[in-house]
Structure 1
């Protein structure tokens, strides 16, 4: 389950329908799709495999959207929210004593391989949706005697919802950056569609690498009246 939908209900066709409805109901021409993160709704490795399938679908839809001609939505971009939460969880896990890799050195495949070694170590709350210790706890010392509760961190309060005062800034800036990939770039002519698509994906990648991660924000972005847009370097 993810939120109020079961994971097996989030199909390719329903994702496409959601994008198209955003134009029909709201007039949207640009849509940003978030990838799904690990959460307390992901109970098993098999559940995580389904999440990975959905995220692969999201990326495929975005990358192939420019080939669709009969839609009011012109651009679909991906916000790598799942990767962001991985970076946060791995950083916290390392902080509280788990033997895990540094997230900035890892690939998506490495997260998938290392995750099962600690993500399913959960608080023993007696409830169905038990949070991962690496997600919600700020320390492990007391866990030797009691695993029903812990001193909570200020990152992910319950295994599902982030603490906005701590983590939402990067989320918001990433959305602004991704929208800037569309609206703050020079318009191309019709025969430059393929080149524009390459530039768009390069810009999307740079936004996600900078903001949907624990990568330190470059000083040039801070207190410099920088517009929240990203441009491909090529």
Structure 2
């Protein structure tokens, strides 16, 4: 398990931004609080130079997390998240594992380089899915999702999802390996083949799907 995470002194409720209303439909998800509290209690998240507990995400509203974090780098600080991502506890070890076990090996294989950064297009945001008024509330609203738009290499290159998905053969191969590999670490993975709204990023989240919560969506 990664060491890049935070020990917590309490489980005070820290809610998200803005106000609620007709802008989105709120779900009743009984798994969220027990899952987050189990992650917090496990000690998998510890204070480091690149993972910090956040005092709040705004609020009060139905958005947010019980104890949100700001993650500025993955894999023990070797891979910078630009900008830093605001996330709930369970997302942090999954991002670490995904970077270490999927993205970094793919970068080395395709480009003979080291991965030094990820371009974060979105993390916490109190909004409906795809920002469509009246839609269901987004996983971003619970700090349970991150959108990755690019991968920065040690030689200064950035492999962007938008340009690289149909770019050079190495870019296409790399991005498809990363996309497909993401499905082993996240319960929802959406990319350019899903729809035009995801043409420039990979959406990764840990939502529960299906009656048993075990279904995965990989598109």
Q: TM-score range by the shorter chain?
A: under 0.3
Q: TM-score, normalised by structure 2?
A: 0.26
Q: TM-score, normalised by structure 1?
A: 0.25
Structure with the greater alpha carbon radius of gyration:
1
